[in-house]
Amino acid sequence: MEAAQKILPIIVFFFLIATTIGCIQTTQPPAGDDFTFTTVTGETKRLSDYHGGPVLLDFMGVACEPCQRQMIVLYQISRTYPNLTIISIDVWTTQGETAQNIQQLKDAFQQQNMTLGWTFALDDAQGSLGRRYASDGVPHLYLYTKQGNLYYSHLGYEEYSALAAKVDAVVS
């Protein structure tokens, strides 16, 4: 019985590893990838419009609680790295989220004295960007170098210290 008690945690550990590996693997977009998006103010932009400086893309949903927590980290990042361009793209438009929902989110943060002053955009009605960049879930962050090459990607909530370490590498 004692031997079984010792080996059970090992079996559970390997079972968990085997069943979760598929959950954490993601498809990376190609380096230098480019796409068009529409900001909440109606402007059509391309990712390549931002080449020349580092860019942090945040694929999110307004009603996503981890995405809302990620906004706090992005706010801190925006204050620490003023030369970093941050773009949050709501990929839950196919679920009915709108520019008005984004504005309500920004207003709620403003009431907490946090101005989310970066660019916000919406996925198209077909969810094209969501399928390509956030099919595994949100929040999904992509950090691009000044040259427009993908440097880092992270699925799920990312702590400030971990994200800041990656941003340090592309800002300096």
At 117, the amino acid letter reads G
Q: Which pLDDT belongs to residue 21?
A: 35
Given CA atoms 107, 112, 113, 118 in this order, what sign does their dihedral have? negative
At 124, the amino acid letter reads D
Share above pLDDT 70 across residues of the chain, in percent, rounded to a whole number: 81
Cα–Cα distances (Å) from 111 to 44, 79, 91, 105, 108, in that order, read 29, 17, 24, 10, 5
**Domain count along the chain:** 1
**Any idea what the CATH number is for the domain that residue 64 is in?**
3.40.30.10
Distance CA 1, CA 95 (A): 52
Smallest CA-to-CA distance from 74 within 85, 62, 63 is with 85
pLDDT of 4 above 70: no
Backbone angles phi, psi at 122, to 5 degrees: -120, 145
Residue with the bigger pLDDT between 11 and 137: it is 137
Report pLDDT digits (tens) over 36-67: 999 999 999 999 999 899 999 999 999 999 99
10: in domain: no
pLDDT of 157 above 60: yes
Q: What rounded mean pLDDT belongs to the chain? A: 86
C-alpha distance across the termini of the chain, in Å: 57
Q: Which pLDDT belongs to residue 12?
A: 43
41: in domain: yes
**pTM of the entire predicted model:** 0.82
Containing domain of residue 102, as a range?
Answer: 28-171
At 96, the amino acid letter reads G
Lowest mean pLDDT among 23-37, 48-62, 131-145: 23-37
Backbone angles phi, psi at 28, to 5 degrees: -90, 140
Mean pLDDT of 137-152: 95
Smallest CA-to-CA distance from 93 within 61, 131, 118 is with 61
Residue 7 banded pLDDT, cuts 50, 70, 90 = low
16: in domain: no
166: in domain: yes
Q: Which pLDDT belongs to residue 78?
A: 98
The answer to whether 93 and 123 have CB atoms below 8 angstroms apart is yes
1: in domain: no
Distance CA 46, CA 5 (A): 57
Q: Which two tokens stand for residue 134?
A: 């956030």
23: in domain: no
Q: Which pLDDT belongs to residue 32?
A: 56
105: in domain: yes
5: in domain: no
